[in-house]
Chains A and B, each alone.
Chain A
Amino acid sequence: MKYEAVIGLEIHVQLNSKTKMFCDCPNCPGDDPNKNTCPICLWLPGAIPRFSEEVLEKATITALALNCEIQPVNAFDQKVYYYPDLPKGFQLSQFHKPLAKNGWVEIFDEEGCPKKIGIHQVHMEEDVAKLMHETEGRTPISLVDFNRAGTPLTEIVSKPDIRTPFEAMEYIKALRAQIRYAGSAECSMEQGTMRVDANVSIRPEGSEELNTKVEIKNMNSIHNVGDAIAYEIERQAKCLDTGEPIILHTRLWDPEKKVTLPMRGKFEGPCIPDPSVPPITISEEWLNKMRTRLPEMPVRKAARFTDQYGLNHDEASLMSSERELSEYFETVTKLAIPPRTAVHWISTQLMPLMKDNNQTFPNLTITPERLASLIGMLERDEINAKSAREVLTKLFSTDSTPEAIVNEFGFRQVSDTDALVSLIDSVLAKNPQAVSDLKAGTQKAMGFLIGQAMQASKGKANPKLIREILLKKFE
């Protein structure tokens, strides 16, 4: 039988607020163990959680970036379970009254058609501590690092609108782009600031039923998510084909063996409203303030790039795909560089070199000004394209301006016609065969002679001028 998958994702995103969610401790889980702790996040007797407004702002902006409806009142619940990484026997989360509901992000499916993936809700919850399993002599011991305890998360629960592993991966990418744009979280699966759990069930193609789902955890890259879902769909299909029932449970993805394995079921009780953190009322005025803090999001920005700069669809969506990239692009164009030239240089030259040099836009040493002055020289025919690429490479390892490098390494293009004419004459004298071929009308010979002239100039000649001079000579 042919099956169709019904997939929903639960994504935890670590907000980049300065402090933890209910105390003033720094939100820096990676610091030395237990450095960022206080009686509140250790939940010592007598401590009372104090909800951070900054966390509320970041969570709200995240939800707005995902087109959600912010609820007028949200409140925290106690989600009870006992585990040493949870310092008080319950996690403060939002179950009954989440921060936001009914959002969506747009993706393009395998056929390239746009598709909206619905978001059921976005809520806030605190992260738990980290357990470290070590040995003391021969005795295994478990240590708890509370730096992460109480750091802020938003959980984004999708509707079961996803049908394929590809769509799941596209959804994560789209969601990540939106949130990074909003600036409220870093969203790195590899670094654990974004964690994805998938709920997967299958049904006969064309049917509308919702069957028992299986939860998969422990995927630490977007590719892992795709692989794990693909594996799980196949596993469930085999089960159904052989008549084996599908049971509600949780499975862990094993990235080495590329399989999902069952894990022990987790005990989970219902949530009771937390009596210590009062419900949070959101005023329209405050919400409007948050809306103004939301930047222009990718889809709208891409449309503007098309209108304002004449980019085609692919160029516009590439230049708007990341907030820092889009800002970089716009700054370069404001420095009198033709927009499509800027797109070309950024996407085909700058970005590959950034990757080679391990740089990203936030820590990029090639400022828009440096790139613009380099492209400017090219536009004014002061250097040729080949030199420009070499200069760009050198810019990564020095603080010098592009002009200084051009002068220092003699990249300046020879556009002096007299100098070029004598250079070409000597090339022609050395290549009689090519000259006669060209005279006979063989166009290949033209290219060969230009190449020889370029070589003779050590790459500094203006190839356009060489062509012009040659054409004149053989008119």
Chain B
Amino acid sequence: MTANIFIHAATDSISDITKGPLSGTMIALQSNISVRNWPTEAGSRALEGFIALEDATVVERLRKAGASIAGNLTMSELGLGLSGNISARAVSEGYADATLSADMMGEARIAAAAHRLIGFKPSYGIMSRFGFIGLIPSMECIGIIAKSPEVITDVLKAATGFDERDFSMSPDIPSFDSSDEIEPSATTIGTITQAHAFLAPAEEEIFKEALEALEDAGFMLKEISLEDFDLFRTVHHIVGSVEASSSGGKYDGVRFGHRAGAAKNWNDMYLKSRAESFGTVVKSFLFQGAYFQFEDYGTFEKACRIRAKLLKTVQTLFDTIDFLVLPQAVRSVPESETTAIDTLYDLCALTLPANVTGHPALCLPSKDGLSLQFIARHLRDGELLSLARYLVR
């Protein structure tokens, strides 16, 4: 049934471009990626009735490369949460070859893992965010979910590159033309001691076996202890929620979206409209952000400083390793919307570090339902995909 996963299913989705690199590739979008004249509500009543005026840069580029856009999908509100893994289902159920899906704390990667697909989060700043409707500007990316590394590579090649409409992009974006061969004996993969604590004993066993398999393939493994691993979550929670609370001010019901009737005055209009628009998860996230912003700003500033330190730490790690590997355990991702922010953070504890630091990350299905999440150096998305191609073979 397409009805329950698509909000807008394109009727004329097949591209006319028959010789582009993505000709014949069907791509589904989350409904927070703008397509001109399509309802683009990002799963929120705060955008009720909003019809995008322009194509997102990625949509424009994918179409130019010959991709067919299948439609846009139902999603959790403003991309926060994992409700139903619709974006992964669209691929696993055959509606699309790839999905573009928001990744704020690992949602795209986790959804992919749950459906035994490959989930990819690009380096921050290589894919234009113009036309992408989000919540945490400094952490969110458009992720890609697909069955093979090749599809992800093709989509990435077409979609990335500097866009003068997004000033926050990286100034030097590499092209992904080179399909470097991975030489395992010259490749060091780091593991993080503290990550094991997030696994149940059985899961840990499977993870250890997966690591052994990597060693058997000739990769060098290096175990690293990161005492402050928990800080990734804390920093994400504080900085992310403050950004969401502040940047989310634009969802006010004045120019678009739901506006409450019968308000006494402006203030009342804002309060009522926002109260009626947002769901529980977004609301509690915004509340938490507002708390730090207005009541405990010093903690927000500290979190920003710690974020900079964490970034340095990770950059330093890559002096001695080529990739990091973290386990993505088999977790039943809730079918309905997650209702507690803490549950969401529990689920995303191992994926959110890449959002905090902006590194590229890829979840690859491994044994017995386990996925391995690989993280590469910033802007070395190509190497990460080469590794995935090697491991899939």
Contacts and interface: CB of A to CB of B under 8 A. Distances in A.
Q: Do A and B come from one complex?
A: yes
A51 B166 CA distance: 10
A50 interface: yes
Contact of B168 (A82, A84, A90, A275): A275
A45 B130 contact: no
Contacts of B294: 269-270
Contacts of A269: 293-294
B34 A46 contact: yes
B84 interface: no
Interface in B128-143: 129-133, 136-138
A80 B249 contact: yes
Given A45-B133, A46-B131, A276-B137, A90 B246 contact: yes
A39 interface: yes
Contact of B293 (A48, A272, A278): A272
Given A39-B54, A278-B167, A89 B255 contact: no
Contacts of B255: 42-44, 87
A78 interface: yes
A45 B242 CA distance: 19
A83 interface: yes
Interface stretch (B9-17, B45-53, B316-324, B378-386): B45-53
A301 interface: no
Interface string A275-311: 1111000000000000000000000000000000000
Contacts of B300: 272
B228 interface: no
A272 B138 contact: no
Majority DSSP secondary structure for residues of A touching B: loop
A45 B47 contact: yes
Contacts of B56: 46
B247 interface: yes
Contact of A84 (B166, B254, B304): B254
B138 A144 contact: no
B132 A46 contact: yes
A84 B34 CA distance: 25
A297 B192 CA distance: 62
Contacts of A89: 246, 248-252
A88 B250 contact: yes
A272 B242 contact: yes
Nearest to A45: B133
Contacts, number: 95
Contacts of B177: none
Contacts of A276: 137, 167-168, 247
B302 interface: no
Nearest to A271: B246
Interface residues of A, number: 29
B249 A83 contact: no
Given A44-B256, A272-B293, A78 B247 contact: yes
A270 B290 CA distance: 11
Contacts of A272: 242-243, 246, 293, 300
Given A272-B300, A275-B138, A87 B243 contact: no
B53 A44 contact: yes
B266 A83 contact: yes
Contacts of A78: 246-247, 249
A48 B40 contact: no
Contacts of B304: 273
Interface string B343-364: 0000000000000000000000
Q: Which of B248, B250, B256 has the largest number of chain A CB atoms within 10 A?
A: B250
Interface in B47-90: 47, 50, 52-54, 56
B247 A275 contact: yes
B181 interface: no
A465 B155 CA distance: 95
A89 B246 CA distance: 8
Contacts of A144: 254
Interface in A70-108: 78, 80, 82-84, 87-90
Interface in A243-283: 269-270, 272-273, 275-278
B305 interface: no
Interface string A24-55: 00000000000000010011111111110000
B227 interface: no
Nearest to A43: B250
Contacts of A82: 249, 252, 266-267, 270
B127 interface: no
A420 B252 CA distance: 86
Contact of B297 (A39, A42, A51, A270): A270
Contacts of A50: 164-165, 167
Interface string A119-152: 0000000000000000000000000100000000
A462 to B, nearest CB: 70
Contacts of A39: 53-54
A45 B54 contact: no
B53 A275 contact: no
Nearest to B52: A46
A42 B50 CA distance: 13
B37 to A, nearest CB: 14
Contacts of A47: 130
B249 A270 contact: no
Interface in B168-207: 168
Nearest to A96: B301
Q: Which of B47, B138, B164, B246 has the largest number of chain A CB atoms within 10 A?
A: B246
Nearest to A144: B254
Q: Which of B34, B254, B300 has the largest number of chain A CB atoms within 10 A?
A: B254
Contacts of A90: 246-247, 249
B298 to A, nearest CB: 10
A144 B252 CA distance: 14
A87 B242 contact: no
A35 to B, nearest CB: 16
A80 B132 contact: no
A342 B85 CA distance: 81
Contacts of A277: 167-168
Contacts of A88: 249-250, 252
Given A44-B53, A275-B136, A277-B168, 8 more contacts: A42-B255, A46-B54, A46-B131, A48-B167, A48-B168, A87-B254, A276-B137, A277-B167
Interface of A: 39, 42-51, 78, 80, 82-84, 87-90, 144, 269-270, 272-273, 275-278
16 contacts: A43-B255, A44-B53, A44-B256, A45-B32, A45-B50, A48-B165, A48-B166, A80-B246, A80-B293, A82-B252, A82-B270, A89-B250, A89-B251, A269-B294, A275-B136, A278-B167
